[in-house]
Amino acid sequence: MAALAAPSQAWQAHRPSAAPAPPGRSDSVTKAETAKLQDYLRRKFANNNIRLTAMKTGDSAEVFIGEESIGVIADDKEDGDDSFVFRMAILDIDLEEDA
C-alpha cells in the first residue's frame, strides 16, 4: 500500500476516563493502551491478524493486517474526552486492486 494520504474515514473507540497523563506524555499511546486497542480491533473485526505497533513519536500506533499497514490510531483528548481516533486512507489504486 502506498503512503497514507489524508484520512478518508475516522472512527473513535471511546474508553473510560483515566488519570491525567504524566508530564510530557499528553496525547500519547502507552504500551498497555496499544495492547487493549489491538485486542479491541481483533474482536470488533473478527480478525486475529490485526497488529498494532507503537510509532517512534509515541503519540500514535500503526495498524497492520498481516504485513500491510492499514492506518494509524492516535490518542485524542480534546474537549475533555478521552478517546482514540483511527484514521484509514483508502486510495483509488487500492480499490482497483480488489475490482
Residue 37 burial (CB < 10 Å; 0-12/13-18/19+)?
buried
Strand partners, 85: 12, 74
**Is the pLDDT confidence value at 18 over 90?**
no
Give percent above pLDDT 90 in the chain. 46
Distance in angstroms (rounded) separating the CA atoms of residues 16 and 9: 23
In this structure, are residues 69 and 55 in contact, taking their beta carbons and an 8 Å threshold? Answer: no
**Which tens digits make up the pLDDT trace of 29-74?**
889 999 999 999 999 999 999 999 999 888 899 999 999 999 999 9
What are 19's three cell numbers? Answer: 488519570
The 10 Å Cβ neighbour count of residue 62 is 15
**Is the pLDDT confidence value at 75 over 70?**
yes
55 three-state secondary structure: coil
pLDDT score recorded for residue 45: 96
The residues spanned by each domain of the chain are 9-13+28-98
- The amino acid at 3: A
